[in-house]
Chain A
């Protein structure tokens, strides 16, 4: 296993997929000569040429539509939308076309398309550049949506996404690009739709994804030290399809759940998870499900205000307090 950044894991995977299959190509704004706003595509234009790494004008609706057409005809486009905030411009192409073509044409042409795009707040980029819009896509049948939290998952899920015959929204997080982690070598893939138990525990479960899963893991380890609480952390990784089984089994074991997400609270991924638990694990709950999510405001530019609006480790600990887990026993260091 090699240690690398999330950014490097994405770059290496794109490069390997371009090498592996000549039908794969990249398309987006500034991904070629400028090497990508976040340098994920650094060096790829030079290596694969302008037919495989395509720079476009600022026209999300146009190049996403182009990619869908290319996918229908047998190519495997990987679109980079510079940030998820610009994806609204391509909404019609994604929701009305990419998601539905396979159904509407009676299964005659799949759409093997990947749309990569980063989101998330905390960079002082203000309200229109700091959003978590994953639930827009997770809501739509016909789309798959993944949001990896670690370099290993970024690599394993991106490979699977590129090889999948359905449109996949591959959601990155700006704050994760420089995080490091071990990444398995070889042709390593992760199935879409399978959550991961990042840490086992028996007092409560924190369910999360993307950057918040990293924060959750950190908090769980800290509370284990400070309070002898044994916390299970589940990273769902795939928002659609959602792995009910892993989430429900975890809560059946711990009897308590906190859902921790960066997006807005109302109608969000957390709401879906809470409803799932209520339906499938009701008799195992010993306390109401807690949700910790972003404040329901357009994200402020001011740093302290921005930090106050984003969900925090402190809020997560407060949610643990609300569960009122009595301290467990052991007179023992």
Chain B
């Protein structure tokens, strides 16, 4: 009988969560039909059927996670659909862990099984367990029983759609009103709580145990002096990768100040000439282009360190760090050196919109060879970024500031911007990075060279 396994959907994915099953047991499935939506650490993706048949059994329920390769459903002739409960013995017991699932666990009676413990041979309780765990009445009721819950109509509607009890949520709006953001944050944490701690020992595994099911669902409203906020999958991935970066890559830093007066003037001209509906070019787009051209000249910077070797990348793919609610993603502009600034502007804008919509695909996020983190709009004088592995360098861009600069011994007002490159000292050395930075500076200070 064909098994549907958890697919590998991105480079960094280790396990996936079933966001939604689009077919139910007994449904006829054609090859290519979308079976489920799977949430990875970066995006929600569709899972297509590779075989036609009847979806006989779902082994991993909505909200639950499974590592890559684990069987999550079975497609067959249809004979096995009838006996939902008992049939599981016929299949090799899947490795699904149950302890921290929102819907399973304590109330259904199977709680307490250790993380990674193989499923007991008995029928899976989850198949028949009610969707919502009966919540321990005492703490919630006493805490919130008399309270009038303020929630926006939109928040109420979303809560109803997602089957959320508003008493679980603390509102961040005026007067404690629950608004859309609060519902979304709650959904995010609920998903995170459903995540089984990965079998690997690692940074990501640490926060999981205390977040077992009842804590996440029932006690959010009754927070004591401190509050445990579980990391979302994305946050866990970021934590793991950035710790890895700082622990394994010897970072060093080179800074300079770039006079952006001319670049700002050029941008103004470009944007004045853009027609109705045209894409405006941002400072960041010019910086992307400048870095891409400088990387052309200094291929060492456009490299990776891998197993004691220097990997030089042919393509120049510039990642742009984008801050999204509760996380950070770095979508990539491919072949940025070969693209005009307007093309870069259009692509960057599209990627940022996708990032906010949570619709970035693994393709959008992979293949970067150099990154830029721009906090210019957040009024920072300077900052340092952590390298996004396996890249060799990242450039941190601070705000443009009007400053008096001595020119011919006279103070002249110029628009100055502080940048810092963090580089991997295993393959890069100070002078190389300094020269690379000089080139970036030269390009931005003579911005017409970006239009070639």
Contacts and interface: CB of A to CB of B under 8 A. Distances in A.
- Asked if chains A and B come from one complex, the reply is yes
A153 to B, nearest CB: 18
Contact of A331 (B154, B283, B378): B378
Interface stretch (A5-13, A53-61, A204-212, A321-329): A321-329
B173 interface: yes
Interface in A285-320: 285-287
Q: Max chain B CB contacts within 10 Å: which of A283, A284, A332?
A: A332
Interface string A250-291: 000001000000000000000000000000001111110000
A330 interface: yes
Nearest to B378: A331
A324 B180 CA distance: 12
A283 B397 CA distance: 42
A228 interface: yes
Interface bin, chain A:
10 to 19
A333 interface: yes
Nearest to B267: A333
Given A330-B352, A331-B321, A283 B284 contact: no
Nearest to B324: A329
A331 B180 CA distance: 22
A329 B348 CA distance: 15
Contacts of B397: 333
Given A283-B157, A285-B154, A332 B179 contact: no
B375 to A, nearest CB: 5
Contacts, number: 70
Contact of B284 (A322, A328, A333): A333
B356 A333 contact: no
Contact of A284 (B153, B284, B348, B400): B153
Contact of A332 (B156, B174, B180, B320): B320
Contacts of A322: 174
Contacts of A285: 152-154
Q: Max chain B CB contacts within 10 Å: which of A255, A284, A322, A331?
A: A331
Interface string A50-77: 0000000000000000000000000000
A229 to B, nearest CB: 13
Contact of A255 (B154, B348, B375): B154
Nearest to B284: A333
B372 to A, nearest CB: 9
A108 to B, nearest CB: 47
Contact of B356 (A283, A326, A329, A331): A329
B152 A330 contact: no
B143 interface: no
Interface string B372-397: 01111110000000000000000001
B181 interface: yes
A286 B155 contact: yes
Contacts of B373: 331
Contact of A286 (B179, B287, B321): B179
B356 A328 contact: yes
Contacts of A255: 154, 180
A321 B131 CA distance: 40
Contacts of B377: 228, 330-333
B284 A332 contact: yes
B322 interface: yes
B318 to A, nearest CB: 13
Given A286-B180, A322-B174, A331 B323 contact: yes
A324 B173 contact: yes
B282 interface: yes
A114 B273 CA distance: 42
B325 interface: yes
Q: Max chain A CB contacts within 10 Å: which of B153, B157, B174, B283?
A: B153
Contact of B179 (A282, A287, A330, A331): A287
A324 B154 contact: no
A332 B374 contact: yes
Interface in B345-372: 348, 352, 356
Q: Max chain B CB contacts within 10 Å: which of A287, A326, A328, A330?
A: A330
B374 A329 contact: no
A326 B356 CA distance: 14
12 contacts: A255-B154, A282-B153, A287-B152, A324-B173, A329-B324, A331-B322, A331-B373, A331-B377, A332-B284, A333-B376, A333-B397, A333-B400
Given A286-B180, A324-B174, 7 more contacts: A255-B154, A283-B156, A326-B172, A326-B181, A329-B356, A330-B323, A333-B376
Interface of A: 228, 255, 282-287, 322, 324, 326, 328-333
The 6 closest A-B pairs by CB, nearest first: A333-B376, A331-B323, A286-B154, A333-B283, A286-B152, A333-B284
Interface of B: 152-157, 172-174, 177, 179-181, 282-284, 287, 320-325, 328, 348, 352, 356, 373-378, 397, 400
